[in-house]
């Protein structure tokens, strides 16, 4: 349900900026009798910062506002005042003090850093709300087509510096806070990272929102408001330990809770046919999804779009007051707790049936609440007469991976059951509205849900999915016919949405062999029986002898033979293949890098590609240059601007290519190296603070930061470091210095809480670090650091300081990657395989400026087959390093399971599925080339500059333009 538009106004407080202090009880130096007078003056002051009152508006109201005579001209008048304001440090300071006084989250007897952050963020939010309301008003009046990006993750990072940077207010805010006694950087450091995502999927979604706003595209993001995120990672002597993330402990100054915007969500229950002839989903468990809005500002534009996050709760009447008063407190609160826990954790463990149910509830909540909201907005904009045929002309829904797949049956349910459309019309609308981005080729990430579980939780949706599956079967049969039964059976097995489910009654006989074949088989069988009879007549004596022998068999022998009979094969589980549903239900499917999109067409969805080749596209990922160069690396940004001669590269990254003209200029190279070293000094201090290890900023910073997973091969990296350490120990001090350049090897990333092998890898890395870092013979020649609780803010510090970055996944397994783009943008040189976006990055930066090793994607299947056949011969250096690990040099922990996963030819958790052993010799030889190149700093700096210049094609702005043009069919709408 959504209510009508509501506005709330407030004016800022005009007072003099107060000096350095740690108290804001009222206003500093003002007698208590004067405080009320100052507050009165402040509430009525007409500050430049708030020339017009800010408004908090419900932009998804169901009631239409009164029609205006000339809405466009009125909007232009409203926005004219916005474009004219330019807040200075004084008005910003007054705004900050106003929020510290009148919108407090802290006690008024102090003004410390956390309070300074919240007051500063709330003052920034005021400015965002003005532009945000203007943006939404303008979209509504023009009734533009809008894109909606649905994702289970939005990995935003800190928002303060990004917001004031996009608003071009960094200088005024720094000055205002300085007058209040604080540095902007220290205030910004108080902000916790929003725990709304974990990996590249969520970071990509956040980059997209930044680009959508910057490029003035009408779009919103939809996600879930996780109370505890994934988890806070702690590194102990036992490796990774998980604790609840506390990012909302002090509240979130950026979000606006929309208690007036909530939608009903249903689980369980049953489906009945009503007297009106419609299906009705009744009974079961009912909850509410409540909207929380986060404004997303564009860079150098008034456009400010929205990220709408859903939290879940139950109605207050669900609280059992009788049970509570009877002392059954847990029982009384059960319904409320069940509703709230849906948004507690990102990706709850799903080993248990309860975990699976919770994950499915999360996915359905995202889809149902978002679609109800999207439809309410469409109906509001349509006015009195709603033409559902226009829905795809006004709405584009993008599913970020398979998590939001339930959008398809949910949109069908709403259109058919609630809005009364025919199945044919609803299916046509759904297919034209929805599109799907595939992010993986890993089978475990191509979600499959238990049909029985989904039938219990979402009974109406299973009916709809069964009808879609039936429609798909009909289409497949029409395309391939029934003449070639084997081909048809193969296509049905590959393409059906329901796996291991019998064909509907209509199609039961389509796989029966043709009559001619049956007749031939019958004749052959009859002939065979005649031959047997003749043979039995000829060999009658032998038959009688065999019968006699059988009679002599004792009962125990018969029992033994019965026990030798094979066990019955268990019936395979009935599953819903979500990825297949995405392909069938949407009008576009895209991969996220050129090589990945080819794998999607050739392997993952080959049958669908042959069927609907026009559906499949490539949209190589990108990252926002605002956050990932301009704001996180100001020193390098300044150098780029000075040498290119313009700051336009922040919006048009093609201009970065102009750096190639100066690549050999010694002055530029000196500045480039100084900038890098300055960033390394900051990281060295950060590492000391977080881990206790001291590292030298003069060593090479070699970094691998990403989710811990076997296919990303952090294990290959650490085994290469172990080999390096072993060789160092076998040399004299003089030989070591001649052979190796000093390195600081930095790891970061989270292993999923129940992913045992990934957690073993984290433990191994930390054990290696504990040994190497305390070895006096090695000193600063080699350090190994695992940075705990890796997140966006840590990335913003590490990436500008990086010199070598490792992107070493097994070829063909990484869809794209986005951190590789961020590293390249910041002048870091990559070592990696030809996987994901590495392929395109290498093409742009030049093969000489990328360290390549390892097997190619097309070779992987053959190499695994070779392994299974026992033909793989490991390199002696690989065997050597495994034995070194098993020797106990890194402590008493038993690494047999970890090393054992790299051995054998078959078996779960064995046989080196990710080809660490195969690529190991190529990897360590490539690392020798890295040492050689780093020894020549002029050559290395040249490579670094060319990486930044070659990253010009990897801006998310370019990616968004392609989505808007090829999938969503939306146009930029810039506010006047």
Active site residue 818: yes
What kind and span of H or E run contains 287? strand 285-297
Among the listed residues 403, 409, 472, the one whose alpha carbon sits nearest the alpha carbon of residue 440: 403
Among the listed residues 473, 407, 419, 434, the one whose alpha carbon sits nearest the alpha carbon of residue 279: 419
Among the listed residues 792, 773, 845, the one whose alpha carbon sits nearest the alpha carbon of residue 155: 792
| b/e code 446-481 from CB counts within 10 Å (16+ = b) | bbbbbbebbbebbbbbbbbbbbbbbebbeebbeebe
What kind and span of H or E run contains 149? strand 146-150
Question: DSSP secondary structure string, 879-904?
Answer: HHHHHHHHTTTT-S---HHHHHTTSS
Active site residue 882: no
Choosing from 377, 439, 596, 626, the catalytic residue is: 439
Sheet holding 498-499, edge to edge: 448-450, 575-577, 498-499
Collapsed DSSP state (helix, strand, coil) of residue 239: strand
Active site residue 145: no
Residue with tokens 């709403």: 414
49 within 8 A of 95, measured Cβ to Cβ: yes
Integer Cα distance of 224 and 347 in angstroms: 11
Active site residue 33: no
φ, ψ (nearest 5 deg) of residue 552: -80, -10
Choosing from 14, 99, 707, 743, the catalytic residue is: 707
* Burial class of residue 549 (count of CB atoms within 10 Å of its CB; 0-12, 13-18, 19+): exposed
Choosing from 712, 750, 842, 867, the catalytic residue is: 712
* Burial class of residue 596 (count of CB atoms within 10 Å of its CB; 0-12, 13-18, 19+): buried
H-only helix segments in 215-348: 321-325, 329-332, 334-340
What angle is formed at CA 344 by the lines to CA 338 and CA 350, rounded to 5 degrees? 80
What kind and span of H or E run contains 494? helix 485-495
- Nearest 10 degrees: Cα torsion 949, 953, 954, 958: 140
Choosing from 312, 365, 818, 833, the catalytic residue is: 818
Active site residue 688: no
- Provide the 8-state DSSP code for 964: I
Among the listed residues 157, 969, 970, the one whose alpha carbon sits nearest the alpha carbon of residue 623: 157
266 within 8 A of 403, measured Cβ to Cβ: no
Strands 270-273 and 285-297: unpaired
Among the listed residues 286, 277, 365, 306, the one whose alpha carbon sits nearest the alpha carbon of residue 128: 306
Choosing from 266, 577, 736, 822, the catalytic residue is: 822
Q: What is the set of active-site residues?
A: 439, 706-707, 712, 818, 822
């Amino acid at each position: 349900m959504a209510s009508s538009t509501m506005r709330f106004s407030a004016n800022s407080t005009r007072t003099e900026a107060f000096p350095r202090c740690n108290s804001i009880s009222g206003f500093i130096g003002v007698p208590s009798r004067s405080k009320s007078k100052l507050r009165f003056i402040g509430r009525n002051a007409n500050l430049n910062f708030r020339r017009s009152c800010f408004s908090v508006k419900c932009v998804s109201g169901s009631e239409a506002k009164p029609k205006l005579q000339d809405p466009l001209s009125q909007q232009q008048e409203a926005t004219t005042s916005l474009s004219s304001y330019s807040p200075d440090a004084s008005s910003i300071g007054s705004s900050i003090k106003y929020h510290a006084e009148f919108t407090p989250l802290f006690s008024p007897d102090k003004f410390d850093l956390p309070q300074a952050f919240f007051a500063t963020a709330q003052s920034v939010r005021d400015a965002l709300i003005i532009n945000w309301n203007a943006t939404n008003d303008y979209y509504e009046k023009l009734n533009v087509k809008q894109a909606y990006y649905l994702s289970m993750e939005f990995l935003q990072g800190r928002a303060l510096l990004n917001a004031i940077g996009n608003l071009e207010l960094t200088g005024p805010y720094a000055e205002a806070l300085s007058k209040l006694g604080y540095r902007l950087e220290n205030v910004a450091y108080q902000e916790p990272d929003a725990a709304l995502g974990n990996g590249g999927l969520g970071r990509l979604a956040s980059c997209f929102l930044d680009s959508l706003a910057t490029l003035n595209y009408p779009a919103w993001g939809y996600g879930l408001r996780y109370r505890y995120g994934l988890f806070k990672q702690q590194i102990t002597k036992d490796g990774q330990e998980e604790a609840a993330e506390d990012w909302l402990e002090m509240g979130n100054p950026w979000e606006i809770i929309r208690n007036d915007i909530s939608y009903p969500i249903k689980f369980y229950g049953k489906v009945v046919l009503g007297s009106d002839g419609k299906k009705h989903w009744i009974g079961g468990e009912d909850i509410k999804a409540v909207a929380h809005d986060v404004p997303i500002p564009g860079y150098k534009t008034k456009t400010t779009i929205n990220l709408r996050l859903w939290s879940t709760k139950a109605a207050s009447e669900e609280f059992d007051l009788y049970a509570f008063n009877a002392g059954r407190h847990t029982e009384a609160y059960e319904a409320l707790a069940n509703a709230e826990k849906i948004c507690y954790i990102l990706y709850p463990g799903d080993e248990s049936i309860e975990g699976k149910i919770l994950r499915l509830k999360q996915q359905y909540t995202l889809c149902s609440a978002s679609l109800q909201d999207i439809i309410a907005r469409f109906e509001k904009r349509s006015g009195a007469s709603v033409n559902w045929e226009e829905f795809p002309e006004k709405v584009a829904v993008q599913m970020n991976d398979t998590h939001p797949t339930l959008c398809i049956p949910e949109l069908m349910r709403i259109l058919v059951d609630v809005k009364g459309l025919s199945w044919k019309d609803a299916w046509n609308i759904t297919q034209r509205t929805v599109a799907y981005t595939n992010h993986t080729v890993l089978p475990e990430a191509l979600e499959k849900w238990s049909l029985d579980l989904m039938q219990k939780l979402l009974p109406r949706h299973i009916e709809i999915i069964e009808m879609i599956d039936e429609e798909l079967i009909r289409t497949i049969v029409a395309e391939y016919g029934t003449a070639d039964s084997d081909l048809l059976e193969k296509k049905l097995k590959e393409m059906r949405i329901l796996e291991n489910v019998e064909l509907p009654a209509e199609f039961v006989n389509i796989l029966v062999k043709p009559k001619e074949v049956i007749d031939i088989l019958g004749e052959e069988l009859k002939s065979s029986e005649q031959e047997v009879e003749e043979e039995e007549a000829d060999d009658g004596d032998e038959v009688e002898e065999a019968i006699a022998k059988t009679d002599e068999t004792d009962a125990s022998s018969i029992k033994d033979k019965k026990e030798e009979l094979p066990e019955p094969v268990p019936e395979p589980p009935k599953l819903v293949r979500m990825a297949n549903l995405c392909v069938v239900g949407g009008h576009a499917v895209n991969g996220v890098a050129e090589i990945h999109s080819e794998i999607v067409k050739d392997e993952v969805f080959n049958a669908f590609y042959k069927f609907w080749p026009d559906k499949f596209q490539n949209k190589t990922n990108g990252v926002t240059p605002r956050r990932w160069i301009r704001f996180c690396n100001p020193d390098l940004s300044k150098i780029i601007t000075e040498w290119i001669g313009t700051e336009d590269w922040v919006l048009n990254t093609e201009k970065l290519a102009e750096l190639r003209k100066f690549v050999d200029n010694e002055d530029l190279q000196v500045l480039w190296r100084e900038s890098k070293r300055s960033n390394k000094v900051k990281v060295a201090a950060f590492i000391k603070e977080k881990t206790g290890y001291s590292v030298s900023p003069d060593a090479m910073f070699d970094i691998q930061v990403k989710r811990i997973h076997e296919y990303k091969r952090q294990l290959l990296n650490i085994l290469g470091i172990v080999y390096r350490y072993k060789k160092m120990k076998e040399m004299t001090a003089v030989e070591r210095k001649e052979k190796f350049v000093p390195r600081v090897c930095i790891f970061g990333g989270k292993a999923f809480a129940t992913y045992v092998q990934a957690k073993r890898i984290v433990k191994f890395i930390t054990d290696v670090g504990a040994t190497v870092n305390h070895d006096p013979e090695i000193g600063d020649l080699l350090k190994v650091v695992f940075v705990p609780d890796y997140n966006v803010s840590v990335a913003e510090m590490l990436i500008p300081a990086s010199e070598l970055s490792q992107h070493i996944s097994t070829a063909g397994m990484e869809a794209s990657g986005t951190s590789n783009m961020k590293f390249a943008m910041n002048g870091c040189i990559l070592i990696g395989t030809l996987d994901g976006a590495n392929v395109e990055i290498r093409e742009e930066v030049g093969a000489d400026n990328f360290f390549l090793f390892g097997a190619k994607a097309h070779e992987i299947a053959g190499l695994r087959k070779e392994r299974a056949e026992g033909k793989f011969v490991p390199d002696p250096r690989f065997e050597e390093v495994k034995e070194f690990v098993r020797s106990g040099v890194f402590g008493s922990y038993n690494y047999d399971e970890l090393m054992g996963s790299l051995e054998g030819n078959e078996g779960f958790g064995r046989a080196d599925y990710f080809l660490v052993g195969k690529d190991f010799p190529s990897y360590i030889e490539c690392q020798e080339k890295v040492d050689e190149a780093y020894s020549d700093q002029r050559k290395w700096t040249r490579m670094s500059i060319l990486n930044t210049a070659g990253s010009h094609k990897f801006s998310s702005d370019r990616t968004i333009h392609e989505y808007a043009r090829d999938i969503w069919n939306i146009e930029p709408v810039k506010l006047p």
